[in-house]
Amino acid sequence: MAINANKPALWKKDIAESVDYYNKWFIKFAPKTFRITRKDTSNTVLETFKLTSNLQKLTPAILKKHPSIIQTLRMSNCPPIARDRLVGLTSIAKHLILSMEEGKLPPQMKGKVLDEYLNRICSIICKLIDSDIIPWLEEDRTPDAHECERASTIIADRLCGAVADPIIRNAQEQRQLMNILKYLEKLGYKYLSPSEITDWQNMKKGTFTFRLNISVGNKHKVNIPIDVVIMPNKAGANQYPILIEAKSAGDFTNTNKRRKEEATKIRQLKDTYGAKINFMLFLCGYFDSGYLGYEAAEGIDWIWEHRIDDMIKLGL
């Protein structure tokens, strides 16, 4: 039985309430979330200062040992250097920068080639250091603790500014999953970690899990992540668990760009497990009638986070 997909007369009201729900959360929690991340990032910047003697001793050897500091180094320049700009300035392979940001070096890149590339990075970073926030390099002196603290905060702001959307998105996802957890536990359901589940199709009734990989495909199998998997207490014989994808958005533009992702996922699931698969969305934020109509046409229903009690209609 459809919950919201077949009720377009309610969509306009639900969209407005969902936007309000998101905005209230954003105003209350986003600044706190961002500040916490900025503090953690500031500590990361200070650690980079420590490893490089306050950027006075930046060498290929240090980059080899601590490749992830490349992100801090890019933001310490004037202007802060985008990843692709650094690749262009140094004429190095882009996958080297990508690997370094993940805290590793490409295993196939070794010896003189790697040394040459890292040397070029050091050279460009040192030439473009922002002397307004890191004046001690130009003045050839040791900075005091206050200068380092101030510089680390500015660089941390730059780093956080570049990743602000993912920071907020991750916080939203955590909130959505926690709300589902509280709701299900209130009904007497038991949470299982993904590692405890050996066969998702035959989970014990009254249990649920988060972020479970499910195999799809017949000839070529791939794993797709599912945010929430619930086996209802009232599940019938051979009934699949309920699969839920948590979605939140802070503007209408991105949702319409991403709406095909869910359609692809449900097609993969139905092609593998049949039409009886039960795949739902859990929505919060900016999802307009265009998005909802597209998902409904693809056979996807949804539950609004601001009206989480609708979950009981899933037969829980």
Q: pLDDT tens digits for 83-126?
A: 999 999 999 989 999 999 999 999 888 888 999 999 999 999 99
CA dist list (Å): 104 to 62, 101, 114, 306: 12, 7, 13, 42
Q: Where in the chain is the domain with CATH 3.40.1350?
A: 8-29+166-314
pLDDT at 167 over 80: no
Percent of the chain scoring above 90 in pLDDT: 64
Question: pLDDT (tens digit, 9 = 90+) per residue, 236-283?
Answer: 888 999 999 999 988 887 676 677 788 888 899 998 888 889 999 999
Q: What is the sign of the dihedral through the CA atoms of 232, 308, 302 and 218? A: negative
> Residue 1: its pLDDT value, please?
65
What mean pLDDT is reported for the chain? 90
What confidence category does residue 30 fall into, taking pLDDT thresholds of 50, 70 and 90?
confident
Mean of the pLDDT values across residues 73-78? 94
Identify the burial level of 234 via C-beta atoms within 10 angstroms of its C-beta, where 0-12 means exposed, 13-18 middle and 19 or more buried. Answer: exposed
What CATH fold (topology level) applies to the domain 8-29+166-314?
A: Trna Endonuclease; Chain: A, domain 1 (3.40.1350)
Are 198 and 206 within 8 A, CB to CB? Answer: no
Q: How far apart are CA 46 and CA 150, in angstroms?
A: 10
pLDDT at 288 over 70: yes
Please count the CA atoms within 13 angstroms of the CA of 213 that sit on its side-chain side: 5
